[in-house]
């Protein structure tokens, strides 16, 4: 397989494992995980804001300065402080963000299942079912019917874990299928090359024999 495909499958597998770990943490360590994620997101926002402000200050007397950078920097810093001071409030945002990621990824896998169907690969049915179930998990995260931060967090964790396991299974199946198709194509190409070489060698041998025959006839004549 090409390096691009290998990188895609590697990133997909690592993403699924990361989601699985996040799901487990949300199920068993709901509050700690939410608070930790909030602090990390808040710190990142503050860092981005500070860098934007520093960039604006450095370019203040230059023609290349951007007036929007100071606004962008201040907004990021304020959002970062809000997230850090209200860590449990991020619980209402996490399901939506994760849901978007799951739906987009599931849509990609659904497209792969259709491609597998076109190539008459038997894996298309299982891949399509897994993709649709994963997409359903994403939809449930967006329209969450459960109440209570802890309950929501645990349900989110369960759905993320289910999605991660299904996505991991789907990625491994697709990887094996693509590898088999790639190997089959290589065998066909090699067979064509061999077939092209053999007639050339036979023709070359015939030409040699004909030349030798003509030389003998000239000598005898």
Give the pLDDT confidence of 134-146 residue by residue, as tens digits: 888 888 777 765 5
Which has more pLDDT, 152 or 32?
32
pLDDT of residue 191: 57
pLDDT above 60 for 202? no
pLDDT, tens digit, 9 for 90 and up, residues 15-24: 888 888 888 8
| In the predicted structure, residue 5 carries a pLDDT above the cut 70 | no
> Higher model confidence: residue 84 or residue 201?
84
Of 138, 139, 140, 115, nearest in space to 127 by CA: 115
DSSP tag of 29: S
Q: Given CA atoms 17, 18, 19, 22 in this order, what sign does their dihedral have?
A: positive
CA 184 to chain centre: 25
Mean pLDDT of 100-105: 85
Q: The dihedral of CA 21, 3, 171, 176: what is its sign?
A: negative
Is 80 exceeded by the pLDDT of residue 151? no
Does residue 106 contact residue 128 with C-beta atoms inside 8 Å? Answer: no
Confidence of residue 156 (pLDDT cuts 50, 70, 90): confident
How far is Cα 107 from Cα 128, in angstroms, rounded to an integer? 10
Which of 177, 199, 195 lies closest to 187, judged by CA? 195
User: H-type helices in the chain, by residue range?
Assistant: 3-28, 30-58, 67-85, 94-118, 124-142, 149-220
């Amino acid at each position: 397989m090409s390096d691009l495909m290998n990188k895609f499958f590697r990133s997909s597998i690592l993403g699924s494992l990361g989601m699985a770990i996040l799901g487990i943490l949300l199920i068993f360590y709901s509050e700690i995980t939410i608070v930790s994620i909030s602090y990390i997101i808040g710190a990142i926002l503050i860092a981005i804001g500070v860098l934007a402000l520093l960039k604006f200050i450095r370019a203040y007397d230059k023609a290349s300065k951007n007036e929007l950078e100071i606004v962008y920097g201040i907004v990021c810093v304020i959002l970062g402080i809000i997230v850090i001071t209200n860590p449990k409030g991020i619980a209402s945002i996490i399901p939506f963000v994760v849901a978007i990621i799951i739906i987009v990824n599931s849509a990609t896998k659904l497209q792969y299942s259709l491609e597998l169907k076109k190539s008459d690969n038997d894996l298309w049915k299982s891949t399509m079912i897994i993709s649709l179930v994963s997409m359903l998990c994403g939809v449930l995260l967006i329209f969450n019917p459960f109440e209570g931060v802890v309950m929501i967090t645990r349900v989110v964790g369960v759905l993320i874990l289910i999605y991660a396991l299904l996505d991991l299974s789907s990625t491994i199946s697709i990887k094996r299928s693509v590898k088999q198709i790639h190997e089959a194509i290589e065998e066909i190409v090699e067979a064509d090359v061999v077939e092209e070489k053999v007639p050339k060698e036979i023709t070359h041998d015939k030409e040699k024999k004909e030349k030798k025959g003509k030389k003998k006839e000239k000598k005898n004549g």
